[in-house]
Structure 1
Amino acid sequence: MLNTVYRLVAPRRFEVAFNDIDLNSDKVVVRPTHLSICHADQRYYQGTRPADVMAKKLPMALIHEAIGDVVYDATGEFKPGELVVMIPNTPVEKDDIIAENYLRSSKFRASGFDGFMQDNVALDRDRLVRLPQDIDRTVAAFTEIVSVSVHALRRFERFTHARRNVVGIWGDGNLGYITAVFFRYMHPDTKLIIFGTNEDKLSSFTFADETHLVWEIPEGLTIDHAIECVGGDASQKAIDQMIDLIQPEGTIALLGVSEYAVPINTRMVLEKGLHLYGSSRSGRADFEKTVELYQEYPEILGYLSNIVGAQVEVSSIADMTKAFEMDINKMMGKTIMIWNK
């Protein structure tokens, strides 16, 4: 089966390539329907990754957040037309201790090999999780980043001590919003405080107990644990603030990605006996838990719909470029490509 792949070959330039999908293999063929643009995709598209990284990665099809309809499964386990979310993390081995998303041998779509900007994608069957057929597809499109938050919160439950009276989340962007929504439902009895830099964005966290601009924090406020969803150059200030406000023996979860090393006040980490842990990407179990939470708390999907941004019908390379350029200029929200390929 001849397949068309849309690869980024240089910053801001997509080109068509072709590959062959073997219909006699054990893989399941999925036709993408809704693709969501991530910050990582933008770093490649705009060429802001280091030159040696760009040279190593390109040409490559972007997008690791996507859903689609099953086209073909030789075994019949998946039926044509079934709606599935595609898992970009692709392990090549299993470890009894290290999760699939932390194994150094694992591959990740749109970061080393082709992502989901294709007419059809052939995946191992364990890289698919079924979605309800009636789910809002524009929301389901970014299930991958949602699963990253769910993964971090599942680790939060493992690593934090039992006193969870007050938890602070730093970051008022997409990742902070998603993490906060799921934290609210997974820990309904905990006082949830959001710290951010944009008053308009903070106003959307209607489910939180308190929101504060980071330069207007009330005196005497303390938290038991903290979750960092900031990333980039602002990470240092956010982590410093967390260390200042957190109670001794609290836990700080780090989710934000930075291209550069971030200094941390280790003196106070030692004095307070703090625990810091990082979370990155997600695995099959996190996707399954995410879909389970969608079904258990359908109102979550309503909250997530608030961050659906531009929706771009894509039927050509010009449309792909338009979607990425629109995404650069957004204030907040997820840009969704409706994949009419």
Structure 2
Amino acid sequence: MINTVYRLVSPKLFEEIYDEAEDLENNVVVRPTYLSICQADQRYYNGSRDPETLAEKLPMALIHEGIGEVVSDNTGTFRVGELVVIIPNTPMEKDEVISENYLESSKFRASGFDGFMQDYIISNPERLVKLPNNINKEVASFTELISVSVHSITRFSKISHNRKDKIGIWGDGNLGYITSLLLKIFFPESKIIIFGKNEEKLNIFTFADETFKINEVPQDLRVDHAFECVGGRGSQLAVDQIIDLINPEGTISLLGVSEYSVPINTRMILEKGLFLFGTSRSGRKDFIKTIGLFEKYPKILKYLENIVNDVVEINSLNDINLAFEKDFNSDFGKTVLVWKK
């Protein structure tokens, strides 16, 4: 079976590569249908990663957020035509202590090997999870990102103390929106407070109890726990403000990815006895839990429709470039690719 793979060979330049698909007997063939662009994809596309990383990773097919339809399955796990979400994390081993997304031996699509920009995805059935037939496919395309928030909140639930009167979320972007929405579902009795820079973005957080611009926070405001969803150069300011406003023995979840080293005020972390933990990627159990939330709380999908910003039909390589340029110039929301290649 010949498969066409659409690889980024250098910043902003894609090429079609024809590849012989192997081991179809033990895998499932999935036709991608809806894909979503992530900030990590943008860093490769625009060449904003360091030259050594680009030289090591490229050429490579981008995109690790996506869903598709089963074309064939010789394993007997799925029926032809079923809609599935594709798990990009691919563990090479099992560990009794370390989750699959933190094992150094695990591989991740669009970061070391080809992502979903292909005519067909050849996947182990364990890396696929069936989706409800009536799900909003545009929202389902970024299930992976949602599962990262679910993973972080699940870990937070295990290690944080019971006082959760006020939970603060720093970041008014996509990750902040998703994480705060899910926190409202997981902890309905807690007051969910959003801290951001952009008034228009903050107005979209209609489910939140309160929103504040980071330079207009009341002097006496305190939170019991916090989630940092800023990333980039803004991480330091966010973490500094969190440490200032969080109550003693609070838990801080770090989700924002930064290419830079971020100084942290360890003196106040020690003085307040704070817990800090990082979250990266997710695993199969997080995807299953996420889809379960979709089914149990349909209103999640309705809220998530608000962050579908652009929907671009992909019929050519030029369409791919157009989608990435639109996404880059967007301040908020997800860019979804309707994959017609």
TM-score bucket of the superposed structures, by smaller chain: over 0.9
Return the alpha-carbon distance in structure 2 between the equivalents of residues 239 and 24 of structure 1.
47
2:206 aligns to what SS in structure 1?
A: coil
Which amino acid is 1:98 matched to? I
Question: What is residue 224 of structure 1 aligned with on the other side?
Answer: 224
Gaps of 5+ in 1: none
Question: What is residue 187 of structure 1 aligned with on the other side?
Answer: 187
2:26 aligns to what SS in structure 1?
A: coil
Alignment of 1:18-57 (within 5 A): 18-22=18-22, 24-57=24-57
CA offsets per residue over residues 94-149 of structure 1, 9 Å max, x none? 00000000000000000000000000000111000000011110000000000000
CA offsets per residue over residues 260-297 of structure 1, 9 Å max, x none? 11000000000000000000000000000000000000
Cα deviation for residue 24 of structure 1 reads 4.1
Which amino acid is 1:143 matched to? T
Which amino acid is 2:38 matched to? C
CA contact (8 A) 2:31 2:120 kept: yes
CA offsets per residue over residues 217-270 of structure 1, 9 Å max, x none? 012111100000000001001000000011111110000000011000000000
Question: What is residue 236 of structure 1 aligned with on the other side?
Answer: 236
Question: What is residue 262 of structure 1 aligned with on the other side?
Answer: 262
Cα deviation for residue 36 of structure 1 reads 0.2
1:116 aligns to what SS in structure 2?
A: coil
Return the alpha-carbon distance in structure 1 between the equivalents of residues 266 and 331 of structure 2.
34
Return the alpha-carbon distance in structure 1 between the equivalents of residues 235 and 16 of structure 2.
38
Which amino acid is 2:154 matched to? R
Return the alpha-carbon distance in structure 1 between the equivalents of residues 122 and 89 of structure 2.
14
CA contact (8 A) 2:37 2:335 kept: yes
Return the alpha-carbon distance in structure 2 between the equivalents of residues 268 and 278 of structure 1.
18
Give the superposed CA RMSD. Answer: 0.7
Number of residue pairs matched by the alignment: 341
- Is 1:320 matched up with 2:300? no
Return the alpha-carbon distance in structure 1 between the equivalents of residues 73 and 340 of structure 2.
22
CA contact (8 A) 1:23 1:74 kept: no
2:25 aligns to what SS in structure 1?
A: coil
2:224 aligns to what SS in structure 1?
A: strand
What TM-score results when the alignment is normalised by the length of structure 1?
0.99
Question: What is residue 126 of structure 2 aligned with on the other side?
Answer: 126
1:247 aligns to what SS in structure 2?
A: coil
1:237 aligns to what SS in structure 2?
A: helix
Gaps of 5+ in 2: none
Return the alpha-carbon distance in structure 1 between the equivalents of residues 75 and 273 of structure 2.
53
Deviating above 6 A after TM superposition, structure 1's stretches of 4 or more consecutive aligned residues are: none
Alignment of 1:16-165 (within 5 A): 16-22=16-22, 24-165=24-165
CA contact (8 A) 1:139 1:301 kept: yes
Cα deviation for residue 69 of structure 1 reads 0.1
1:44 aligns to what SS in structure 2?
A: helix
CA contact (8 A) 2:192 2:210 kept: yes
CA offsets per residue over residues 6-47 of structure 1, 9 Å max, x none? 000000000010112236421111000000000000000000
Cα deviation for residue 331 of structure 1 reads 1.8
What TM-score results when the alignment is normalised by the length of structure 2?
0.99
- Is 1:283 matched up with 2:280? no
2:281 aligns to what SS in structure 1?
A: coil
Return the alpha-carbon distance in structure 1 between the equivalents of residues 12 and 223 of structure 2.
43
Return the alpha-carbon distance in structure 2 between the equivalents of residues 319 and 208 of structure 1.
36
CA offsets per residue over residues 54-113 of structure 1, 9 Å max, x none? 000000000000000000101222111000000000000000000000000000000000
